Amino acid sequence: MTTDSTRSPSVDQGDGTRDEVREHRALGWRSGGTSERTEKLAVEEPLEIRLAGRRFTVTMRTPGHDEELAAGFLFTEGFINDATELGEIRRVRGRKGAPQPNAIDIVLNVPADQLRSRLKRNFVMTSSCGVCGKTTIDSIRRRVAPASDSARVAPATLLALAEKLRAGQRVFAATGGLHGAAIFGLDGTMLAIREDVGRHTAVDKVIGYALTNAMLPLSRHLMMVSGRLSFEIVQKAAAAGVPILAAVSAPSSLAVELAEKVGTTIVAFLRDGSFNIYTRPDRITT
């Protein structure tokens, strides 16, 4: 069996710069025997994010929609307050002028002293997470606006979301290896979906889409993610003003605690014709 990995025809080019799927030879075991087969793998590569040419952070992601990922990350983590603080988003170029596939540079419209303050504040918040949950939750609650109290969604609309999310996950269908995050209208219309190897990265991508398309705050929308709901996903959704957050699988205890504090409705185990409501059930009509 060969062990080299080769590029396949792209399932979805994303932003047109990289393939999201590659092929690899594998041995399939069935009924006591093996046979060679070609498997499609979701691509995972690092993305270096720079601020005005200086290295800021590196995140693992599936290539595609990198500009949205960077913008969404900066917004959901509190490094920028809105789209007006986003300047130019550009690919880093190598010595010969060709764009580097795994590096992106962002120029912010933020005074240097304010940027330093935000970097310091967010470093403290990130460091406290997991050490003192209350400190982190209180910091996030002060930073994000309360979720809209007027948003309402019908149970029948919620029950249809899981199938719509799965139908929109084209790369997951090919590989079985990606998470999805989608924005819906309160009537259940899917407006945007993004996939990635990381749940939180998929959320950053779809929020970055909303940020760069003047959709924020998402006070008249809901978001759904594949898999479970973590603290980090609730934080990012709250920053975008999402009032109703749904998931195919379970929420964590800290995710529910944060949702209670910031007023987000959490709907989880949304599958097979049923769901659980953990916080703010008043937004689900009866």
Give catalytic residue positions.
129
Helix (H, G, I), strand (E, B) or coil at 143: helix
The CA distance from 108 to 49, in Å, is 12
DSSP 8-state secondary structure symbol assigned to residue 284: B
Which has the closest alpha carbon to 159: 271, 249, 244? 271
**The pair of three-digit structure tokens given for residue 151, joined into one six-digit string:** 């948003």
CA dihedral 51, 55, 61, 63 (to 10 degrees): 70
Please check whether residue 204 is in contact with residue 240, taking contact to mean a CB–CB distance below 8 angstroms. Answer: no
Characterize the bridge pairing of strands 99-108 and 179-185: unpaired
Q: Exposed (0-12), middle (13-18) or buried (19+): which is 128, by Cβ within 10 Å?
A: middle
| Strand stretches in the chain, DSSP E | 5-7, 21-30, 33-42, 45-51, 54-61, 86-93, 99-108, 179-185, 190-196, 221-225, 244-247, 265-271, 274-279
